Amino acid sequence: MSAPQFEATTEALAPPLAGDAHDDDAQIIDDLFEPASGPPDPSAAMQDAPDHTQSPPKRPTRIQSGNQTIDAFTLAPIQIQPFDPNRERIVIRVISTTATDYILVADEANKCNALSLTSGQAGRLPAGCDLTLEGHTGPVFIMSAVATSVVVTWWAVTS
């Protein structure tokens, strides 16, 4: 024997169903959306995205630093930075106990040799001063031109 089949909405003797048979939530939710018989149009969601393939990502920078004590016994120029095409800047600082001390700074070793007491091809960097070279990618040489001891410290930013 099979159980009788009832239509809940048309027959008065139908057993009560779980929930509210007259709940209109489904119709209200359906009214919030547009009915569609196919997939949505993708052109409505198109956004112009930047093309990152044309520009490579920026390389991280590095700091190259060091220090050197130079005294009267240092007779040859010292290369503190080699040629670096990616170098962005270099800062050189001279520290000494005597305010009149200085070092010579140049891009070639032979320029650090003083031609005379009053002229030369290298720049003088006095003690207590900093020299910042922006965009210089060539080598950097230093040499002491005094009898006392000086400490030279440098920082270079390169990528």
Q: What does the pLDDT read at residue 54?
A: 81
- In tens, the pLDDT along 114-157 reads 666 677 889 999 999 999 999 999 999 999 877 788 999 999 99
Q: What does the pLDDT read at residue 20?
A: 66
pLDDT confidence tier of residue 56, bands split at 50, 70 and 90: confident
List the domain boundaries for the chain: 62-158
Cα-based distances in Å from 82 to 65, 78, 99, 140:
12, 11, 29, 7
Contacts of 121 (CB under 8 A, 6+ apart): 106, 111, 115
HSE toward the beta carbon, residue 145, CA cutoff 13 A:
22
Q: Which residue has the higher pLDDT, 80 or 54?
A: 80
Signed CA dihedral, 47, 53, 56, 57: sign only: positive
Whether 46 has a pLDDT exceeding 90, the answer reads no
Place of tokens 């920078």: 61
The amino acid that residue 50 corresponds to is P
Mean pLDDT, range 32-47, rounded to an integer: 74
Q: Largest Cα–Cα distance of the chain, in whole Å? A: 126
Q: What does the pLDDT read at residue 133?
A: 96
What's the whole-model pTM score? 0.64
**CATH tag, 62-158:** 2.60.120.770
Whether 29 has a pLDDT exceeding 90, the answer reads no
Three-state SS at 41: coil
- In tens, the pLDDT along 70-125 reads 987 888 999 999 999 999 999 999 999 888 889 999 999 999 876 666 778 899 99
